[in-house]
């Protein structure tokens, strides 16, 4: 197996685990092709890593919530891909590594 292929496999499996825990896919209109992939996160560097792997999408933020009592909220960032072909490309690459629950959520959305 070539080194780049191994690197892609490692990157895709890492991305799948991160997306599995932190991400979601939503419908943005009534068409099956209107979907967006989103990941919310307070650590910008992690979102940048995800974006670097797939070379698509945009990171929005920071969004700062009002403090709750003495608790100061961390700024939040949002990674988003809203073009069907780009979402499909990401899902295709991470599909083999996704948990059954996340796969079912995606299938429910596109069926």
Strands (E) in the chain, as ranges, are 23-27, 35-41, 58-63, 76-81
pLDDT in tens, 58-82: 999 999 988 888 888 889 999 999 9
What pLDDT sits at residue 69?
Answer: 83
Spatial neighbors of 17 by CB under 8 A, at least 6 apart, are 97
This prediction has a pTM of: 0.87
What pLDDT sits at residue 1?
Answer: 47
Spatial neighbors of 97 by CB under 8 A, at least 6 apart, are 12, 13, 16, 17
What pLDDT sits at residue 41?
Answer: 96
Q: What average pLDDT does range 77-104 have in this prediction?
A: 96
Of 101, 56, 99, give the one whose Cα is nearest residue 80. Answer: 56
pLDDT in tens, 1-45: 455 555 688 999 999 999 999 999 999 888 778 999 999 999 999
Judge whether residue 110 has pLDDT over 60: yes
Average pLDDT, the chain: 91
**Can you tell me the distance from the alpha carbon of 1 to that of 79, in angstroms, rounded to the nearest whole number?**
31
């Amino acid at each position: 197996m070539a080194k780049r292929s191994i690197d892609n496999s490692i990157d895709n499996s890492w991305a799948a685990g991160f997306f599995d825990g932190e991400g979601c896919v939503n419908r943005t209109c009534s068409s099956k092709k209107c979907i967006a992939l989103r990941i919310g996160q307070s650590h910008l560097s992690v979102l940048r890593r995800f974006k670097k792997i797939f070379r698509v999408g945009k990171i929005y933020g920071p969004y700062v919530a009002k403090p709750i009592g003495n608790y100061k909220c961390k700024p939040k960032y949002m990674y988003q891909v809203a073009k069907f072909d780009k979402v499909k490309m990401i899902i295709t690459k991470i599909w083999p590594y996704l948990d059954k629950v996340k796969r079912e959520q995606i299938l429910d959305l596109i069926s």
